[in-house]
C-alpha cells in the first residue's frame, strides 16, 4: 500500500484578490518505507533545531521563504542559512523513496469557455475538476503499478485539514475509493478508504508537501528569484525532473 500526503498553495476561490494559481502537491511513499523516510525527516529537523536553536512543531514553506515565524526567532540569520535548510528539504522531496504528484491550475486559463460568473458556483466547479484530475492521475499511477507488479496496489490519501474544501473533496473522493471494476485484471487496485484529514502540525509528511506546494507556487508565478530565499536553477531543474510535469 502507498500513502499519499497532500497540501495546497494559493486559495481555491474566485473572489476579488484571490490567488492566480491553485496548487495541490503531494508525496507518495510505500508503507514499508514509511519509517525509514519518517526518520530521515525527523533527523533533519533535529539537526536544524540543534544548529539554529529552532523550536517548532511545524515548518511551513511561506515562513521559510519569507524568514518569518520560528525562522525569524532563531539563529537562522542569513540567506546562506535559509538556503541550506531549504536545500536539505528539497533533497528529501527528491529522495528515491518517494514519488511526487502535483496539479498546478491557472484560474485565468480555467475560466476560458466557462460561462458561470457566480464566485461560489465557480469555486465548486473548479474544485471538482481539479480534485478529479488529481485523483485520476494518482489512481492511474496505482493501476499501472499493479499491472507491472501483477498484484493489486492501493493508496491511502491524507490531506491538510481545511474545512473550506472538505465538502467538495469528500464527494469527489468517494467516487474513487468506492470504485470496484471487475473488468480490471486486478480489481482491488486503486484508491481506498475515505480521505483522511490531518492537522499539518501532526504530520512531517504534510509539512514537506507544503514546502513543495509553496515552491511550485513561486516557480509558476515567476517569483523564483525574489525575496530572501531564491529557488536556484539547479533546484528548479531537480524539482522538475522529479515531478516530470510542465510547470509553465
Question: So what's the pLDDT on residue 26?
Answer: 97
* Start-to-end Cα distance in the chain: 32
Smallest CA-to-CA distance from 227 within 246, 237, 214 is with: 214
As a whole number of angstroms, the distance between CA 154 and CA 3 comes to 9
Residue 233: CATH number of its domain: 3.30.420.10
248 in any annotated domain: no
The number of CA neighbours under 13 Å toward the Cβ of 59 is 24
3-state secondary structure of 196: strand
61 in any annotated domain: yes
As a whole number of angstroms, the distance between CA 83 and CA 88 comes to 9
Tell me the pTM.
0.91
Q: How many domains does the chain have?
A: 1
Domain carrying residue 228: 2-243
Do the Cβ atoms of 71 and 54 come closer than 8 Å? yes
Q: Please return the burial class of 197, using the count of CB atoms within 10 Å of its CB with bins 0-12, 13-18 and 19+.
A: middle
Per-residue pLDDT of the chain (248 residues; tens, 9 = 90+): 999 999 999 888 888 788 889 999 999 999 999 999 999 999 998 998 888 887 777 888 888 888 777 776 666 767 788 889 899 999 999 999 999 999 999 988 888 878 777 888 888 889 889 999 999 999 999 999 999 999 999 999 999 988 777 877 888 888 888 877 776 778 788 999 889 999 999 999 999 999 999 999 999 988 766 777 889 999 999 999 999 654 44
Amino acid at each position: 500500500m502507498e500513502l499519499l500526503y497532500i497540501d495546497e498553495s494559493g486559495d481555491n476561490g474566485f473572489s476579488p484578490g484571490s490567488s492566480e494559481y491553485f496548487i495541490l502537491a503531494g508525496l507518495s511513499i510505500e508503507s514499508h518505507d514509511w519509517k525509514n523516510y519518517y526518520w530521515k525527516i525527523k533527523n533533519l529537523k533535529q539537526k536544524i533545531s540543534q544548529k539554529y536553536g529552532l523550536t517548532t512543531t511545524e515548518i511551513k514553506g511561506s515562513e521559510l521563504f519569507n524568514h518569518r515565524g520560528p525562522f525569524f526567532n532563531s539563529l537562522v540569520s542569513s540567506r546562506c542559512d535559509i538556503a541550506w535548510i531549504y536545500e536539505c528539504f528539497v533533497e528529501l522531496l527528491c529522495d528515491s523513496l518517494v514519488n511526487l504528484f502535483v496539479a498546478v491550475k491557472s484560474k485565468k486559463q480555467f475560466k476560458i469557455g466557462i460561462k458561470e460568473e457566480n464566485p461560489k458556483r465557480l469555486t465548486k466547479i473548479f474544485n471538482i475538476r481539479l480534485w478529479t484530475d488529481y485523483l485520476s492521475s494518482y489512481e492511474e499511477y496505482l493501476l499501472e503499478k499493479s499491472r507491472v507488479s501483477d498484484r493489486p496496489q492501493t493508496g491511502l490519501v491524507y490531506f491538510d485539514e481545511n474545512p473550506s474544501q472538505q465538502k467538495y473533496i469528500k464527494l469527489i473522493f468517494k467516487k474513487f475509493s468506492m470504485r470496484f471494476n471487475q473488468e480490471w485484471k486486478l480489481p482491488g487496485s486503486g484508491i481506498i478508504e475515505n480521505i483522511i484529514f490531518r492537522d499539518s502540525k501532526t504530520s512531517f509528511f504534510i509539512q514537506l508537501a507544503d514546502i513543495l506546494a509553496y515552491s511550485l507556487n513561486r516557480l509558476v508565478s515567476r517569483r523564483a528569484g525574489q525575496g530572501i530565499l531564491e529557488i536556484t536553477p539547479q533546484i528548479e531543474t531537480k524539482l522538475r525532473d522529479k515531478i516530470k510535469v510542465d510547470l509553465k
